Structure 1
Amino acid sequence: MRGWNQFETIYEEEQELSSTSSPFLSPSSSSSPPPPPSLHSIVNAWSLDSGSEPDVLICVQGTSFRLHKVRLISRSSYLKRHLTGVSDLTLSPPLNLTAETFAAVAEFCYSRRVHLTPSNVAAVRVAAELLGMTGEENLREVTESYFERVVGIGASMVLRSCVALLPEAETTASLASRCIEALVWEDDVSCMSDVVGMHPQDFQTVSYSLNRRLPNHDVLYKMVDLYLKENKCRKLTEEQKTEICNSIDCSKLSPHTLVNCVQNPQMPLRFIVQAILMEHLNTRRSVTAAATTGAQQQLERTTLREILQRDTADRQTTQIKETMDSTYSRIQSLEKELRGMKKILHEHHQAEGEKIRNNNVLNSERSASFHFDPADAESSKIQRGGRGSVSSSGFGLDNVRRKNKEVAGGMCNLSVGSSCRHDSKTPKMTKFFRHSKFITGLKNAFRISNSTSNPY
C-alpha cells in the first residue's frame, strides 16, 4: 500500500483558490497564497492539539488513511454508521471514490476547508452526496456553491470530469446535464464530443435530465442524432434507440427541426410517427391562424403595410403546404414499406400452408396404398356375387331360391295388406321399407337369373 508521502504533494501542483474573508474557498483570487498543508500535516497538528492518536484505518483504492474517528463521524453520516464499533473500513464500489477525492474529503472533516478546481469539483461534489456530508456549511453546500460559480466559465472542463463519474454525477446532483445546459446558453457545441463517448445507459440518464431542464429541445435532438450516428458500432437495439429518443419532446422542437426529424431515417419509426403527428398539428394551427389573419385583413382598409403582411402570410402558407406535401410523401413511403412487409409475410404464410397441405395429401396417399389388400377386394367381390366371380354359378342357384322366397313374401305383403300379421297397425315407414325390399329382391332375382342362364 502507498503511504502518506503521496498526498504531501497533491496540492503543491495547483494554487489554492481561497479568500481571506471566508473559511471556505472561492474559485479565484487576485493573490497567490502558498499551497495548503498536506493532509498528513493537518492530522499530525490535530493530534498534538487534542492529545489523541489516530484510531481508525480507512482504505481507498489501495491507499491507507490513519485518521481520527471523532473528526470523520462529525461530518459524514455514512462514516458514522459504518465506523460504529469498528476501527478498520474499506471504501469500495458501489462508492465511486478515488484516493485523491477522499483525501480532500478528510481534509474538510479536519479543517472545514477543501481545495477545489474545475477538474475535481464534480468528484468532490459526488463524494459529498455518497458520504452523506449534507446540511448547513457542510461539504455539499461548499462544493455546490463553487460549482455554480465555476460552471459559467469552465463548463467544458467540469463536463469532461463528469463523464468518468456517471451515472453518480447525474443521479446525485445532475452535474453533467447542468454543464450541457450552461454550454447551450453560451451557444457552445464543444460538449458534443464528450457526450458521444458516454455509455448508452449513462447517455439516456443525462438526456432525460436535459428533458426537464431545457425549454427548447433542438439541442437535445441534435445531441441524440449525433449520438445515434456515432455509435452505430455499438449496435444499439430498436428498444434502446426508442428509449433514448423518448427524452425528446416533439412539442418543444422548432418547425425546422421537426421537419428534419420527420425526414431522418436514423430515428426509430415510432418516434418519426410521433413527430409527424406533431408537425401535422402545428401545420393545422398555422393554416388556421393564416386564414384568420387573411379574413381580418379583408375587412380593413388595404394599405401598403397590410399588403406586405398579406404577402408574408402567403409565403408562409406556401411553405406550410410544401411542408405538408413533404410530410404526406414521407407517410406514403412508410405505408408502402409496411404494405411490402405485410405482403412478404402473407406470401410466406401461404407458402407454409401449401407445403403443409401437400405433406398431408402425400401422407394420406401413402397410408391408403399401404393398407390395400387384393385378397380382401376379391373376397368382397365374391360375397357380392359379381358376374366375374368364379363361384357365382354354384352359389347363384341357392341365392335365386332365397330371393324368390323374398319376392313371394313381398307380394304377399302388397296383396293381402290388412290381412297380414301386422294388420293395420303396421307403421307407414315399415310398409315403405318392405316395398323397397320387394323391388330390390326383384332386381337381384332377375340379375342373378340372367347370370345363371348364360354363364359363358
Structure 2
Amino acid sequence: MRNWNQFGVIETIYEEEREFSSTSSSPPSLHSIVNAWSLDSGCETDVSILVQGTSFRLHKDRLISRSSYLKRHLTAVSNVTLSPPLNITAETFAALAEFCYCRRVQLTAGNVVAVRTAAELLGMTGEENLRDVAEAYFERLVVGVDAPLVLRSCVALLPDSETTASLASRCIEAMVWEVNDVDDGFLDVVLEIRPRDFVTVAYSLNRRLPNHDVLYKMVDLYLKENKYEKVTEEQRSEICNSIDCTKVSPHTLVDCVQNPRMPLRFIVRAILVEHLNTRRSVAAAATTCGPQVERTSLREFLQRDTAHRQRAQLKEAMDSTYSRIQSLEKELRGMKKILMDHHADESHILNSERSLSASFHYVPTAAAAAPLESSQIQRGGRGSVSSSGFLLDNNNNIQLGRYDLSLRSCHDERRDTQKMSRGFGHRFITGLKNAFRISNN
C-alpha cells in the first residue's frame, strides 16, 4: 500500500480529520475521502484551497466538476484563497469539498444555512447539485421546531444568507404562519440583527407576506427594543417604508397613524390610505343600510347590528385621524411662524443697517463760494429730503424734515432785534435827560 504522503496529503488534512471525525462510528472524513480517491484514480492532489488559514490539498477535476466559481478561478492557477466578501468558513468548505468527491454531505440544523449559502456563492448549482440538497433539508427544518435555531444561523450569516436565498425572511415567514403572530421565540433573534441587515430582511418580508400586520409589529418592536446598535433616521425611514399600508388591517392602520416612532412621511401615507379605506367602508355601510322591510328577521337584525358597529368603528377611526391631522397642522403652523419670525428679524436688522449706513451723504457742490455754502448735506439718495436729515441748498436754506429755515430770515430777525434794542436804549437815555432837564445839546 502506498504511503499517504505520496498523494500530497499534508498535515492540514490530518487536522481536518481530527476536527470533523470525532468517533470511530462517524462517516468518513474529508481526509479519508481524498485519500481513497487518490488510491482509486492513481492521481495526486494538484490544487490548494486556502480558507481562513486552513489549507486543503484536493483534486482539481473533482472541484471544477461541481463548482462554477472554482472552475473559473482554477483555470490557470493551482492555488486559490477563499476570503471575504465570501463568507465561508473552513468547516463549511470541508462539507462542500466532501460533496464534490462523493455527492453526500452531513447536514444539521446548525450548518444547513452555511452550506446552502456557500453552495450558492460557489456556484454549485449544476446537475445533482449541493444547492438543491441543502434547500430540501432547509425546507424540512423551517416547518418544524428547529426554525428558531435555523433563524439564528441565518442572522449570523447576514446579509449573504438573505441575498442568496432569502433564508432569514423565509424562517420568519414559516414561524409567522405557525403562530399567526409575532412570537417571542424569534423576536429575541430578530433584535440581534444589525439595522442595515434588518432593512434587507424587511424588504424580503414585504414581498413574501400578503398581510403586513405582522411586519408592522415586528418593525415597531425592533425600533422600540433595539439596544445593540443605534438606528439612524435614514435607516428608520427605509425600515418603515418596507411596510405596505394597503396590506395593513384598519385597526393596525389606526395604530400606525398614532405611533410616534413612525416617521412623518410614513404617517402621512398611512393617513391617506386610511381615508381611502374609510370612504370605501362608508359607501359599503350605506349600501348595507338601505330601506328595510317592516318584518325583520334574525339575519337582517344581525346585519343591521353589524352595520351599526362598523359605522361606530369608522367614526372612531375618522375622529382619530382628524385629531392626528390637527396635531400635524398645528406643528406645521408653529414651524412656519418660527421661520417667518426669523426672516422678519433678519429683514429688520438688514434695514436698520442700511438706514444707518445711508443716513448722511456729504455731496460737494461747485456753485457755492462760502464754506457753509460749499457743501450740501442730505439723507438717502442725492437730492432727497427727510425728517431725519437736513439739506443746505444754494440759497443758504436749511431744510430739516418738513420745516424750512432760511439763513436770510435769521439775519433779518437778528437785525430787527438789534434795532429794537437800540430804540429802547435811546428812549431810556432821552427820558433820563428830560428828568434832569439836560439839554439835548
Shorter chain as denominator, the TM-score bin is: 0.7 to 0.9
- The unaligned stretches of length 5 or more in structure 2 are 1-9, 377-391, 399-408, 420-441
Q: Does 2:161 match 1:169?
A: yes
CA 363–102 in structure 1, closer or farther in 2 if over 3 Å, else same? same
- Greater helix share, 1 or 2? 1
Match of residue 98, structure 1, among 57, 81, 89: 89
Shift of 1:308: 3.0
- Cα deviation 1:5-45 (Å, max 9, x = unaligned): 4322444469xxxxxxxxxxxxxxxxxx9321111111111
Match of residue 47, structure 2, among 49, 53, 56: 56
Shift of 1:182: 0.5
Match of residue 13, structure 2, among 4, 24, 38: 4
TM normalised by structure 2 equals 0.78
TM normalised by structure 1 equals 0.76
Task: State whether residues 11 and 36 of structure 1, in contact with CA within 8 Å, keep that contact through their aligned partners in structure 2.
Answer: no
Q: Does 2:240 match 1:249?
A: no
- SS of the residue corresponding to residue 288 of structure 1 reads helix
Task: State whether residues 373 and 396 of structure 2, in contact with CA within 8 Å, keep that contact through their aligned partners in structure 1.
Answer: no
CA 350–210 in structure 1, closer or farther in 2 if over 3 Å, else same? same
Shift of 1:369: 7.1
Shift of 1:259: 1.0
Q: Does 2:353 match 1:362?
A: no
- Cα deviation 1:211-239 (Å, max 9, x = unaligned): 11111111100111112123377443333
Query: What's 1:338 paired with?
Result: 332
Query: Bigger shift: 74-83 or 33-42?
Result: 33-42
CA distance in 2, matches of 1:3, 1:237: 45
Query: What's 1:259 paired with?
Result: 254
Shift of 1:124: 0.5
Query: What's 2:436 paired with?
Result: none
Query: What's 2:273 paired with?
Result: 278
Aligned-partner residue type, residue 57 of structure 2 = R
- The unaligned stretches of length 5 or more in structure 1 are 15-32, 389-446
- Cα deviation 1:113-158 (Å, max 9, x = unaligned): 1111111111111111111100221111111111111111111111
Task: State whether residues 2 and 63 of structure 1, in contact with CA within 8 Å, keep that contact through their aligned partners in structure 2.
Answer: no
CA distance in 2, matches of 1:157, 1:343: 55
Q: CA RMSD in A?
A: 3.1
- Cα deviation 1:177-200 (Å, max 9, x = unaligned): 100000101114421211222122
Task: State whether residues 245 and 270 of structure 2, in contact with CA within 8 Å, keep that contact through their aligned partners in structure 1.
Answer: yes
Aligned-partner residue type, residue 138 of structure 2 = F
CA 72–360 in structure 1, closer or farther in 2 if over 3 Å, else same? same
Query: What's 1:17 paired with?
Result: none
Query: What's 2:314 paired with?
Result: 320
Match of residue 218, structure 1, among 210, 213, 221: 213
Bigger RCO (CA 8 Å, 6+ sep): 1
Query: What's 1:180 paired with?
Result: 172
- Cα deviation 1:236-286 (Å, max 9, x = unaligned): 333322211111111111121111111101000111111111111212222
Task: State whether residues 245 and 271 of structure 1, in contact with CA within 8 Å, keep that contact through their aligned partners in structure 2.
Answer: yes
Task: State whether residues 13 and 57 of structure 2, in contact with CA within 8 Å, keep that contact through their aligned partners in structure 1.
Answer: no
- Cα deviation 1:386-415 (Å, max 9, x = unaligned): 599xxxxxxxxxxxxxxxxxxxxxxxxxxx
Shift of 1:371: 9.1
CA distance in 2, matches of 1:386, 1:313: 93
- SS of the residue corresponding to residue 190 of structure 1 reads helix
Aligned-partner residue type, residue 6 of structure 1 = E
CA distance in 2, matches of 1:377, 1:180: 94
Task: State whether residues 135 and 141 of structure 1, in contact with CA within 8 Å, keep that contact through their aligned partners in structure 2.
Answer: no
Query: What's 2:120 paired with?
Result: 129
Shift of 1:47: 0.7
Query: What's 1:308 paired with?
Result: 302
CA 285–300 in structure 1, closer or farther in 2 if over 3 Å, else same? farther
Query: What's 2:192 paired with?
Result: 197
Match of residue 137, structure 2, among 146, 151, 156: 146
Query: What's 1:442 paired with?
Result: none
Shift of 1:105: 0.5
CA 144–384 in structure 1, closer or farther in 2 if over 3 Å, else same? closer
Query: What's 2:234 paired with?
Result: 239
CA distance in 1, matches of 2:70, 2:196: 30
Q: Does 2:67 match 1:72?
A: no
Shift of 1:293: 1.0
Task: State whether residues 56 and 69 of structure 1, in contact with CA within 8 Å, keep that contact through their aligned partners in structure 2.
Answer: yes
Q: Does 2:221 match 1:230?
A: no
Aligned-partner residue type, residue 179 of structure 1 = C
Aligned-partner residue type, residue 102 of structure 1 = F
Aligned-partner residue type, residue 308 of structure 1 = L
Task: State whether residues 2 and 62 of structure 1, in contact with CA within 8 Å, keep that contact through their aligned partners in structure 2.
Answer: no
CA 45–136 in structure 1, closer or farther in 2 if over 3 Å, else same? same
Task: State whether residues 72 and 80 of structure 1, in contact with CA within 8 Å, keep that contact through their aligned partners in structure 2.
Answer: yes
CA distance in 2, matches of 1:335, 1:309: 38
CA 364–114 in structure 1, closer or farther in 2 if over 3 Å, else same? same
Shift of 1:315: 2.0
Task: State whether residues 64 and 70 of structure 2, in contact with CA within 8 Å, keep that contact through their aligned partners in structure 1.
Answer: yes
Aligned-partner residue type, residue 106 of structure 1 = A
CA 214–300 in structure 1, closer or farther in 2 if over 3 Å, else same? farther
Percent identity (aligned)? 68
Query: What's 1:420 paired with?
Result: none
Query: What's 2:403 paired with?
Result: none
Task: State whether residues 290 and 317 of structure 1, in contact with CA within 8 Å, keep that contact through their aligned partners in structure 2.
Answer: yes
Query: What's 1:438 paired with?
Result: none
Task: State whether residues 183 and 189 of structure 1, in contact with CA within 8 Å, keep that contact through their aligned partners in structure 2.
Answer: no
Task: State whether residues 220 and 248 of structure 1, in contact with CA within 8 Å, keep that contact through their aligned partners in structure 2.
Answer: yes
- Greater strand share, 1 or 2? 2
